[in-house]
Amino acid sequence: MPMGEPAQEWTYGDLDATFAKCKVVYDDTFVHGSNSHHSMEPRSALAHWQNGKCIVYVSSQSQSFIVPPLAQMIGIPPSDLVVIAEYCGGGFGSKGNAYPIQALPALMSKKINRPVLLRISRAEEYYNGSARHGFQGRVKLGFAENGKLLAADLYVVQENGAYNSFWDFRNAGDALAMVYQPEAMRWRGVPVHANSPLRSAQRGPGYNQLVHIIEPLIDRAAHQLGIDRVAIRLLNDPVTGSPGGVKRTPTTSCYLKEAIRCGAKEFDWENKLAMCGQRKGSKGYGVGVGQAYHPAGFNGFDGLVRIAPDGKLHIHTGVGNLGTFSHSGTSRIAAEVLKIDWADCVVVRGDSRKHLPWNIGQFGSNTSFTMARTNFVAATDALNKLKEIAAQQFGGKPEDYDVDGKRVFRRGSPGTGMTYGQAAQRAIALGGKFDGHQLPEDINPMTRDSATALAGSGLIGVAKDKLKVGGETAAFAAAFVMVELDYETGKYTILDFVGVADCGTVIHPAGLQTQIKSGGIQGFGVAGLERIIYDPQNGLPHSIGFYQARPPTYGDIPLNMRTCAVDLPDPTSPMGTKGIGEPLLGSAASALLCAISNAMGGHVFNRTPVTSDMILNKLYNIPQAHGPLQTNCQ
């Protein structure tokens, strides 16, 4: 592998000295294939202009977050752009930020002065809809005799596509440092533009590719050192406070060990392991455990709530709608702070004309952490204002008051108080900060505009999230997979799956299960099916439809999928919540790769995806069709 000057690099610890004390050292090259996002809805956008404003209907994971960059693409101030992003049609990272197809109809509409709808075809979706960054690279891992990973040296070459890119290659270094906690580590990386389809962030960008590469090597070390594969992970896993990345930032919470233990118990690791190695006719079993991580600590966005004169709580959320319902799931936090029935809440979303605050988009496994904080600070602001109004009316200090049942009342004297509706009317009468006529200095201009538009219509709670940060908040996950491998065909069936999330406090159990299962299935696609390839002779793209690019179908999943959550709170989220979705993909894909390897006596492919032809070639001692570092092979 060419190991020229990397574009970026970092090191911590004494790498050479640490490698020197290792019992086992592996030095391997690896390849991680690219796979498309395959959003179900081919990108569509509709735009028209009215009274100097540009109104666009877009397919987006984000609502407020894309307004400034999209306005810039169209060439207007953000305040002149109306974004309607009620439904997304699937994004998986490819619609997190603004993208040019959202802007094109606006520009065309301006030229011809009538509405313009742009809708791309499926084949075009495979050119423009972007794909996960592929990796080629080299990794050197050094283990102590007890299985502790002591030293790691990682070099990642990232395929960028024709333009645009994400920092998957950097994330890969962070993931290695965090998940395996080496004493010394060097990371080097270089992103390379290529004449191939657009790449962008896809569910667990870089973090997941890294574990797909490393987890099978951890298994190899366990095998060589005679250590159980669950035990070697428990030995290496980070804990709360473990440092991450070159900055050695401590995690605010990490319960990966707990996740592994919980999953091993649910999966029945010991007994399932005992079933492996025995052939049953042409078939045999393999089990695998995988783990993954995704930092999810974005903060500093604004929350905005309004208590209307009818007593209802309006929660304005600009987070977007990826399809995970977290716009509503995280809005419940405001309801909890104000102790108001969910039935008395209105989630205001989907259209920037509805006066939405500056929020993060729905990406990066951040929603349940970031939006918990923003909704918390806005609701807390409203709560304080309710108490202040009550204290003004009935005497005493604000802290003498409490809320419940849509009322604010004096502690110990429930009869002394007023309804939320009355408080809202009082806020309007008082004006100033109570009804939004006076706003905090530090909020984003978008939030300021929205709150100003709402001023005088109720009690306004609005605040920037300045809650404690105190380290790196990250989601972790573990997964367990059992496969039945058919040695005559190279095909495997996934018999069992247990996915475990360390996502902080569980606030929406059903939604969480959905994320664990579907993240797992997407992982199965990355590990064993999906591809985005082209003809090297003339550049023709091969993967221009679902059929060629192969996302998983109903028949490619286990009939029953099991889920677990550690359910221990993160201290930096007021509700204890942190990220969920992305590491489930990485841990499931890793577990599947490890299970296939296990069924093949421990053979490690050092590449993803592993397809039935590769399995057959290995089983029948046929040289693999691809070269050692070759990408774009079938």
Partner 1 sequence: MLKDMMPHFDLYQPNTLDAAVDLAGRLGTDGWLLGAGQDSYDWLKNRTKRTPAVIELAGIEALKGVREVDGGLEIGALTTLTEIEEHPVVRERFRVLSLAAGRVASPQIRNAGTLGGNLCQDARCWYYRYGVDCYRAGGNMCYADTPEGMNREHAILGASRCVAVSPSDTATAVVALEGVMVIRSTKGERLVPAADFFVQPAINIQRMTVLEPGEILVAVRIPAKWSGASYYFEKIADRAAWDFALVSIAAVFVFEGDLIKDASMVCGAVACVPWVLKGSQDELRGQPRTAETSDKAAWAAVVGAKPLHYNHFKLPLMENLVRRAIREA
Partner 2 sequence: MADLKGINVVTTTLAVESDARRQSRREFIKRVIASGAVASSASFMGAGLAGCSPRRATAAGAVERLLSIDVNGQLRRVDVLPQETLATTLRYKLGLTGTKVACDRAECGACTVMINDVTHYGCSTLTHSVRGRKVVTIEGLRGPNGELHPVQQAFVEELSPQCGFCTPGQVVAAVALLKKNPKPSREEARHAMSGNLCRCAAYDNYLNGIMRACGNHDQISHQHVEMNHGV
Asked if 413 is part of the footprint of partner 1 (rule: CB under 8 A), the reply reads no
Q: Which among 34-42, 162-170, 224-232, 619-627 is the span making contact with partner 2, rule CB under 8 A?
A: 34-42
Report the amino acid identity of residue 471: G
Asked if 128 is part of the footprint of partner 1 (rule: CB under 8 A), the reply reads no
Q: Which member of 79, 121, 146, 438 binds partner 1 (CB under 8 A)? A: 121
Containing 364, the helix (H) or strand (E) segment is: none
Cα-to-chain-centroid distance, residue 339: 29
Q: Which member of 323, 396, 398, 571 binds partner 2 (CB under 8 A)? A: 323
Asked if 122 is part of the footprint of partner 2 (rule: CB under 8 A), the reply reads yes
Burial track 379-391 (b if 16+ CB lie within 10 A, e otherwise): bbbbbebbbbbbb
Cβ pair 232, 288 in contact under 8 A: no
- Distance, in Å, from the CA atom of 454 to the CA atom of 450, rounded to the nearest integer, reads 6
Asked if 445 is part of the footprint of partner 1 (rule: CB under 8 A), the reply reads no
Q: Is 220 left (phi over 0), alpha (psi -120 to 50) or beta?
A: alpha
Q: Which among 146-154, 160-168, 217-225, 485-493 is the span making contact with partner 1, rule CB under 8 A?
A: 485-493
| Residue 492: φ, ψ to 5° | -130, 155
Contact string 497-536 vs partner 1 (x = CB under 8 A)? --------------------------------x---x-xx
Secondary structure (DSSP) of 435-457: TTSS--TTS-HHHHHHHHHHTTS
Nearer to partner 1, 385 or 550 (CB): 550
Cβ-based neighbours of 51, under 8 Å, separated by 6 or more: none
**CA nearest neighbour of 610 among 509, 523, 547, 512:** 523
| Token duo for residue 325 | 């319902």
**How many residues contact partner 2, by CB under 8 A?**
54
Q: Which member of 50, 113, 271, 537 binds partner 1 (CB under 8 A)? A: 537
Is residue 193 helix, strand or coil?
A: coil
Could you tell which of partner 2, partner 1, none binds residue 537, using a CB distance below 5 to 8 A set by kind? partner 1
Asked if 163 is part of the footprint of partner 2 (rule: CB under 8 A), the reply reads no
**CA nearest neighbour of 368 among 318, 297, 314, 313:** 297
Asked if 555 is part of the footprint of partner 1 (rule: CB under 8 A), the reply reads yes
Q: Which member of 32, 38, 48, 448 binds partner 2 (CB under 8 A)? A: 38
Asked if 89 is part of the footprint of partner 2 (rule: CB under 8 A), the reply reads yes
Secondary structure (DSSP) of 393-409: HH-S-GGGEEEETTEEE
Nearer to partner 2, 41 or 80 (CB): 41
Nearer to partner 2, 220 or 550 (CB): 550
Cβ pair 48, 219 in contact under 8 A: no
The 8-class DSSP code of residue 344 comes to: G
To the nearest whole angstrom, how small is the minimum distance from the Cβ of residue 326 to partner 2? Answer: 11
**How many residues contact partner 1, by CB under 8 A?**
40
Cβ pair 143, 152 in contact under 8 A: no
Q: Which member of 224, 419, 452, 514 binds partner 2 (CB under 8 A)? A: 514
Q: Which member of 100, 440, 552, 602 binds partner 1 (CB under 8 A)? A: 552
**CA nearest neighbour of 464 among 398, 356, 381:** 381
| Token duo for residue 532 | 């985005």
Is residue 100 helix, strand or coil?
A: helix
To the nearest whole angstrom, how small is the minimum distance from the Cβ of residue 527 to partner 1? Answer: 13
Asked if 634 is part of the footprint of partner 1 (rule: CB under 8 A), the reply reads yes
Asked if 437 is part of the footprint of partner 1 (rule: CB under 8 A), the reply reads no
Q: Which member of 268, 351, 400, 556 binds partner 1 (CB under 8 A)? A: 556
Nearer to partner 2, 212 or 257 (CB): 257
Asked if 591 is part of the footprint of partner 2 (rule: CB under 8 A), the reply reads no
The interface with partner 1 within residues 275-314 (CB under 8 A) comprises 282
- CA angle at residue 279 from 274 to 281, to 5 degrees? 145
The 8-class DSSP code of residue 16 comes to: H
To the nearest whole angstrom, how small is the minimum distance from the Cβ of residue 581 to partner 1? Answer: 23
Asked if 281 is part of the footprint of partner 2 (rule: CB under 8 A), the reply reads no
Nearer to partner 1, 69 or 552 (CB): 552
Cβ pair 574, 372 in contact under 8 A: yes
Q: Which among 98-106, 380-388, 437-445, 519-527 is the span making contact with partner 2, rule CB under 8 A?
A: 519-527
Cα-to-chain-centroid distance, residue 432: 39
Q: Which member of 278, 441, 540, 560 binds partner 1 (CB under 8 A)? A: 540
Asked if 262 is part of the footprint of partner 2 (rule: CB under 8 A), the reply reads yes
* Partner residues linked to 155 by β-bridges: 138, 188
Asked if 506 is part of the footprint of partner 2 (rule: CB under 8 A), the reply reads yes
Asked if 567 is part of the footprint of partner 2 (rule: CB under 8 A), the reply reads yes
| Token duo for residue 490 | 């190279």
To the nearest whole angstrom, how small is the minimum distance from the Cβ of residue 546 to partner 1? Answer: 7
Containing 378, the helix (H) or strand (E) segment is: helix 367-394
Helices (H), 226-361: 229-236, 256-267, 269-275, 326-329, 332-337
Residues contributing to the site for partner 1 (CB under 8 A): 119-123, 282, 488-491, 529, 533, 535-538, 540, 542, 546-548, 550, 552-556, 611-614, 616-617, 619-620, 622-623, 625, 633-634
Residues contributing to the site for partner 2 (CB under 8 A): 37-42, 87-92, 121-122, 258, 262, 266, 322-325, 506, 509-514, 517-522, 525, 545-547, 551-555, 557, 559-568
